[in-house]
Amino acid sequence: MTKKLISGNEAVAYGALAAGVKTVAGYPGTPSTEMIDSLLKMDIEGTHVEWSTNEKVAFEVAAGGALLGYRTMCAMKMTGVNVAYDSLISIAYSGCTGGLVVYVVDDPGVSAGMSEQDSRGFALLSDMPVLEPSNLQESYDMAKYAFELAEAIQGPVFLRSVTSISQSHGLVEIEERILPETDHPLFEHNMEKYTKAGAVICMNQHKALIERLDAAGKYIAESSLNSLCLKTSKGVGVISVGVGNSYIDEAFDILEENQIKTDDISVLKLHNTLPYPDDEINAVLKHCTRVLVAEELEPYLENRVYLNAYKLGVKVDILGKNDGTYSRIGYYDADNLVNGICKLLNTALPALPENTDTAPEKKCAARPITVCAGCPHRGTYISIQNAISKLKMKKSEVVVTGDIGCTILGTTPPFNALWTEVSMGASIPLAQGLVYGGTKNPVLATIGDSTFFHAGMAGLVNALQHNANLTVIIMDNGWTSMTGMQINPGTAQDFQLGSWKQLDLKKVVEGLGVEDFHVIDPYDLDTTARAIAESMQYQGVSVILARRECAIQSNRRKIKYSAIKLDLEKCVNCKQCINITGCPAIAFADNTISIDYAQCNGCGICTQVCKFDALVKEQ
């Protein structure tokens, strides 16, 4: 047993290795990305680790290994479960002989973008167990335990974390890795179990699924996974689950420091919402007259507490989200627990210190969100505006749909170019729907290369089949940049891992039968704008592939373009270089323009914007 300073995501990775995991697959998505990233950086022969094209594929890869009896895991962020669910529910029905764990990280507070989706809802839909660690050590321990539980019930298990755990760092005790099994059992040919060929088969599988959930409840109870402490005097109690467990003791300390006694508060700390730990919940309901339920996001556990109280016929005041004590929005901290416990005790809130004015983030300079200096997407978005102008149209007359990833930063100033953000790959079908809705003006759909491989191809195929009148701009920077520079199928061969191979995005698009196809360099504003303008006038599906590597990655390899020179004698301080490009490498201070050469990579976009030749590329 050794101690390592690691993150919550890494703790899960080490837990999987200690459990003898055979296959790990996933798709990058903050706040879960580092789990697989950390494994790919390790020398772990015998375990296959991959970035799959999307979360559905990742789950299916993991499920295939579990059908052979191996321990496997897939990883994703909360919205990735939406993508994987079609296959996930089917495998939940069939079950599997190996330990299959679905590691998902939810994002209360939306620090990583998209939504505050509570993935426990999918567990409820699927009658699947969901385990919820409350700290880093539990992330490691429960990753190991999740495989044991999955094997015991012979069905998949959710391991659910949240951003505040997965992204935090601390010391975790870890054990030596257990090598995966090396034998190759034959997959059982059992149509009754692994197909859905008929209503009777499906209903029998549904019955087996419900039985597996019941079995999980018994297994968890025998493992003493949860912690119940009933005080001698009947009165009030707190029920918490997952990360909420971490804040109870801290809240008690704050209250005791403010002379508010907590000795008589019964506490139930849960590590699973589903299967519902009814015995422990009922013990609290029989013992207490007032109960506070602390869980982030949806009141799944709280609603069960209400139901159990009704079935027991006990009169208990239940505080939580349904009575307005807590909100369904945002993450919890110790202050949330202090507030709830004070209401539980019918006592006034203590005077907690104000920390809003002294918080470190309040002392930071305001920084607008934008693409990085040298980002090729900057040239694409400027060129979209220039193309609209070339066609003598107004910006408000041309709908530009957006997609997920770095490309979505086209919503920010100075571009303000994108009108929508829905889900991975949705930009193209959404644009198609706008066309069918009768819009007379051109419609553009923008999408990144990784997102195109993830879920964009099907949308383009659909648009081609139906000959929709729209322009698709694929912004190919060669990396899955938004989540930390993971490789994708289109990443250059030099950076593919092991036997992985690059798929040329240009050939993929050509292979789909696109007739009006332009490959351009987004650093060349005039050529790019002309290509976009021509595509907007084409009748049918036109595709533009804007290709230039992510500036961060090229900078890491010391790739520099011609340096940019600022001629102060020609500069009139019109600030167009800032207002049009929004490049963070260009600043205006002390009544003069300046260039931060530590950030500037010499892309030259600013030189094409300056009308006074004050910015030029050195020869």
- 178 shares a domain with 87: yes
In a domain, 338, yes or no: yes
DSSP 8-class letter at 396: G
- Residue 589: which pLDDT band, with cuts at 50, 70 and 90? confident
In a domain, 482, yes or no: yes
Does residue 359 register a pLDDT over 80?
no
- 402 shares a domain with 260: no
DSSP lists the bridge partners of residue 301 as none
CA–CA dist 278, 385 (Å, integer): 59
pLDDT number for residue 584: 93
User: How many CA atoms does the CB half-sphere of 199 hold within 13 Å?
Assistant: 0
Does residue 560 register a pLDDT over 80?
no
In a domain, 548, yes or no: yes
CA–CA dist 480, 227 (Å, integer): 41
- Residue 414's nearest CA partner among 231, 234, 600, 584 is 584
- 217 shares a domain with 253: no
In a domain, 358, yes or no: no
Residue 15, domain CATH? 3.40.50.970
Angstrom CA distances, 148 to 21, 102, 154, 447, stand at 11, 13, 10, 41
Residue 607, domain CATH? 3.30.70.20
- 215 shares a domain with 81: yes
- 335 shares a domain with 458: no
pLDDT number for residue 546: 97
Cβ atoms within 10 Å, residue 183: 7
- Residue 367: which pLDDT band, with cuts at 50, 70 and 90? low
pTM of the model: 0.91
Cβ atoms within 10 Å, residue 164: 20
Residues in contact with 77: Cβ distance below 8 Å, sequence separation at least 6, in sequence order: 29, 30, 31, 32, 33, 104, 105, 107, 112, 114
Look up residue 2 and give its two tokens. 């050794």
446: domain range?
376-556
pLDDT number for residue 557: 86
CA–CA dist 344, 294 (Å, integer): 12
H runs (alpha helix) in 41-100: 55-67, 78-94
Angstrom CA distances, 350 to 58, 252, 342, 400, 551, stand at 49, 12, 9, 51, 51
pLDDT per residue over 208-257, tens digit each?
999 999 999 999 999 999 999 999 877 899 999 999 999 999 999 999 99
pLDDT number for residue 360: 54
What percent of the chain shows pLDDT beyond 90?
85
pLDDT per residue over 436-481, tens digit each?
998 888 999 999 999 999 999 999 999 999 999 999 999 999 999 9
pLDDT per residue over 269-292, tens digit each?
999 999 999 999 999 999 999 999
What percent of the chain shows pLDDT beyond 70?
97
Q: What is the Cα 590 distance to its own chain's centre?
A: 42
As a dihedral over the C-alpha atoms of residue 380, residue 384, residue 387, residue 389, rounded to 10 degrees, the angle is -130
Does residue 356 register a pLDDT over 60?
no
Angstrom CA distances, 464 to 324, 474, 490, 514, 515, stand at 50, 15, 21, 7, 10
In a domain, 371, yes or no: no
Domain edge (last residue) among 223, 238, 261 = 223
CA–CA dist 275, 288 (Å, integer): 23
pLDDT per residue over 369-390, tens digit each?
889 999 999 999 999 999 999 9
- Residue 364: which pLDDT band, with cuts at 50, 70 and 90? low
Look up residue 239 and give its two tokens. 């029920």
pLDDT number for residue 370: 86
Asked if 406 and 448 count as a contact pair (C-beta separation under 8 A), the reply is yes
Mean pLDDT across the chain? 93
* The amino acid at 326: Y
- 107 shares a domain with 143: yes
pLDDT number for residue 355: 53
Domain edge (last residue) among 198, 223, 248 = 223
- 430 shares a domain with 389: yes
> What Rg, from alpha-carbon coordinates, does the chain have?
27
Please tell me the total count of domains within the chain.
Answer: 4
CA–CA dist 382, 393 (Å, integer): 15
pLDDT per residue over 153-196, tens digit each?
999 999 999 999 999 999 999 999 989 887 767 788 888 988 99
- 54 shares a domain with 202: yes
Asked if 398 and 388 count as a contact pair (C-beta separation under 8 A), the reply is yes
- 190 shares a domain with 137: yes
- Residue 555's nearest CA partner among 594, 600, 524, 523 is 600
Q: How many helices (H) and strands (E) does the chain have?
A: 22, 23
Asked if 255 and 341 count as a contact pair (C-beta separation under 8 A), the reply is yes
pLDDT per residue over 52-72, tens digit each?
999 999 999 999 999 999 999
Strands 443-448 and 399-401: parallel
In a domain, 29, yes or no: yes
Cβ atoms within 10 Å, residue 203: 11
Residue 324, domain CATH? 3.40.50.920
- Residue 363: which pLDDT band, with cuts at 50, 70 and 90? low
Sign of the torsion angle spanned by Cα atoms 500, 504, 509, 512 = negative
Look up residue 512 and give its two tokens. 């789909």
Look up residue 156 and give its two tokens. 């998949």
- 259 shares a domain with 211: no
Rounded mean pLDDT, 13-34? 96
Q: Residue for token digits 């060669």?
A: 478
pLDDT number for residue 361: 54
Rounded mean pLDDT, 568-579? 93
- Residue 492: which pLDDT band, with cuts at 50, 70 and 90? very high
Does residue 24 register a pLDDT over 80?
yes
CA–CA dist 275, 211 (Å, integer): 11
- 307 shares a domain with 400: no
Rounded mean pLDDT, 72-83? 96
In a domain, 367, yes or no: no
- 288 shares a domain with 258: yes
In a domain, 353, yes or no: no
